[in-house]
């Protein structure tokens, strides 16, 4: 418990069951507890209910203000989507019939080129922010497009609806398949600088820029170097893609013959830092994973996408064995669901498929996957000192979950304890069960306009 000071005022107090992860426990269930959130949105205390009267005196709140969670309710940390293309949301659930490179040229680049139209951008970006928040994504790491103004609009909308977000203006100066959808190297640098400067100038409390080279195939070596320098000079996050499918890996070898591996391309251009997250990594070697560990770079595991466009299957157990930071991503629209709950389920499916192929493979547990979706995601985005679990001093990013909402997808039976209830929610639940969403102590779902 943090000692109260005269400036802290308690804004919310919840009583009941809390479920979160710690570095030591994949799932920790705290029953009959009370949690207080101060007016800065930070967790002020978390204690057993028996201390309620003394807590109310120390923290100066009325016991009548306590929000009591029901028997079939719990609070959990908000989910972290470490890789999602906001600009692809309009065709989510379709166009899953081609492998990666054909998929990009046929579907993705033509759609992303439309984002110079701010009305089009506003429509899609409003919907994706609202949809992901409703599904419990309190933090999203977004790819936008090459268009600076539309990318700034995505940041504005995330702030408006209260989502914590890293927003990336996409950088690409090579695109022979759809030549109108690229920038010159000089445009890329000028517009990336403008994007970063203007987004930071807004001083949004929870929305920050992330340097975003699309991937090695669409960026020249000189552009990659420029972006590494921009990220370093501004101490910014970096996001990109790596080793998603085998054809891509082979093409990278051809384009960058002086590099030992796909990972080495990013390493040589100063793009692997402790604030870097790379999506996919299905075909990384053990040597490459060692570089990820040494640099503190993270991997975003996007199993729905990996399966949907037949890219490959990431061996998460092997990544964790190399002590590489790892979170989950929906990778909309390569992945057909904008819900991190779906990403958790596909993570388990992929792990079980690897066990079918190799009985020596140790299948991930649902508890481990829960940690990847919450604390693991915060670690992957280097935000774990701020979010990820219920620790005093961290921001209160949380979901109120009710597994027994009217006409909901879950049935309960006598004698089922909180761990069974959690597992049922993770496997069967959807946005109907997520009744309230909080980001930094602010209730953002239900939306004020509904």
Q: What is the pLDDT of residues 112-128, one digit of tens each?
A: 999 999 999 999 999 99
What was the pLDDT predicted at 449?
Answer: 74
Q: Find, among 413, 392, 389, the residue nearest to 403 by Cα.
A: 413
Burial (Cβ within 10 Å: 0-12, 13-18, ≥19) of residue 334: buried
Q: Quote the CA–CA distance of 395 and 264 in Å, as a whole number.
A: 36
Pairing of strands 28-38, 325-328: unpaired
Percent of the chain surpassing pLDDT 70: 98
- pLDDT tens per residue, range 389-410: 999 999 999 999 999 999 999 9
Task: State residue 448's pLDDT score.
Answer: 86
Token digits of residue 315: 């061996």
DSSP-derived secondary structure letter, 446: S
Mean pLDDT of 257-278: 98
Per-residue pLDDT band at 49 (split at 50, 70, 90): confident
Note the pLDDT tens digit of each residue in 308-347.
999 999 999 999 999 999 999 999 999 999 999 999 999 9
Question: pLDDT category, 450, cuts 50, 70, 90?
Answer: low
Query: 4 to each of 38, 63, 392, 438, how far by Cα in Å?
Result: 10, 17, 12, 22
Weakest mean pLDDT among 50-54, 91-95, 221-225, 436-440: 50-54
84 exposure class (CB count in 10 Å sphere: 0-12, 13-18, 19+): buried
- Is pLDDT at 42 greater than 80 in this prediction? yes
Cα separation, 58 vs 62, in Å, equals: 11
> Mean pLDDT score of the chain, rounded to an integer?
96
The pLDDT, as a whole number, for residue 7 is 63
pLDDT at 380 over 70: yes
Q: The tokens of 41 are what?
A: 């949105």
Quick one: pLDDT band at residue 45, thresholds 50, 70, 90? very high
Lowest mean pLDDT among 45-59, 158-172, 285-299, 310-324: 45-59
Q: Where are the alpha helices (DSSP H) in 145-184?
A: 148-161
Q: How far, rounded to the nearest angstrom, does the alpha carbon of residue 141 sit from its chain's CA centroid?
A: 5
* Whether the predicted pLDDT of 54 surpasses 90: no
Rounded to 10 deg, the angle between the 118-134 and 148-161 helix axes is 30
In this prediction, residue 40 has a pLDDT band, given cuts at 50, 70 and 90, of very high
Find the mean pLDDT for residues 28-32: 97
- Report d(CA 335, CA 122) in Å as an integer: 22
When pLDDT is averaged across residues 351-375 and rounded to a whole number, the result is 98
How does DSSP classify residue 42? B
Q: Tell me which of 6-20, 169-183, 192-206 is least confident.
A: 6-20
CA distance linking residue 261 with residue 249, whole number of Å: 8
Task: Provide the percentage of residues in the chain whose pLDDT is more than 90.
Answer: 95
């Amino acid at each position: 418990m943090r000692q109260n000071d005269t400036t802290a005022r308690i804004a919310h107090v919840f009583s009941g069951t809390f479920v979160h992860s710690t570095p030591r426990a994949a799932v920790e269930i705290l029953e009959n507890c009370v949690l207080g959130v101060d007016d800065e949105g930070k967790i002020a205390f978390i204690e057993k209910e028996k201390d309620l009267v003394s807590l109310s005196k120390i923290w100066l709140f009325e016991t009548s203000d306590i929000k009591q969670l029901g028997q079939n309710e719990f609070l959990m940390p908000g989910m972290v989507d470490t890789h999602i293309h906001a600009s692809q949301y309009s065709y989510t659930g379709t166009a899953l019939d081609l492998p990666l490179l054909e998929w990009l040229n046929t579907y993705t680049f033509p759609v992303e080129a439309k984002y110079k139209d701010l009305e089009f951008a506003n429509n899609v970006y409003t919907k994706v922010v609202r949809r992901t928040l409703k599904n419990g994504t309190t933090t999203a790491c977004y790819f936008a497009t090459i268009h600076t103004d539309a990318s700034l609009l995505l940041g504005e909308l995330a702030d408006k609806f209260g989502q914590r977000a890293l927003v990336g203006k996409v950088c690409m100066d090579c695109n022979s398949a759809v030549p109108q959808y690229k920038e010159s190297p000089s445009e890329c640098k000028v517009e990336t600088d403008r994007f970063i400067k203007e987004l930071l100038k807004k001083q949004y409390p929870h929305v920050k820029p992330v340097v975003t080279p699309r991937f090695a195939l669409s960026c020249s070596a000189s552009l990659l170097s420029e972006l590494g320098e921009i990220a370093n000079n501004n101490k910014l996050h970096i996001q990109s893609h790596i080793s998603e499918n085998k054809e891509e890996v082979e093409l990278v070898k051809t384009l960058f013959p002086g590099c030992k591996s796909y990972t080495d391309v990013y390493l040589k251009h100063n793009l692997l830092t402790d604030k870097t997250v790379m999506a996919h990594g299905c075909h990384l070697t053990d040597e490459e994973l060692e570089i990820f560990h040494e640099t503190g770079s993270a991997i975003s595991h996007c199993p729905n996408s990996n399966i949907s466009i037949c890219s490959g299957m990431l061996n998460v157990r092997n990544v964790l064995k190399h002590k590489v930071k790892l979170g989950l991503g929906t990778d909309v629209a390569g992945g057909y669901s904008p819900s991190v709950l779906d990403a958790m389920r596909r993570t388990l499916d992929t792990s079980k498929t690897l066990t079918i192929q190799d009985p020596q493979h140790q299948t991930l547990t649902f508890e481990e996957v829960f940690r990847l979706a919450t604390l693991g995601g915060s670690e992957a985005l280097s935000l774990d000192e701020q979010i990820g679990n219920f620790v005093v001093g961290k921001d209160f990013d949380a979901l109120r979950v009710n597994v027994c909402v009217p006409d909901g997808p879950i049935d309960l039976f006598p004698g089922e304890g909180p761990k069974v209830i959690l597992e049922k929610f993770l496997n069967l639940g959807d946005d109907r069960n997520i009744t309230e969403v909080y980001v930094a102590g602010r209730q953002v779902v239900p939306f004020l306009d509904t």
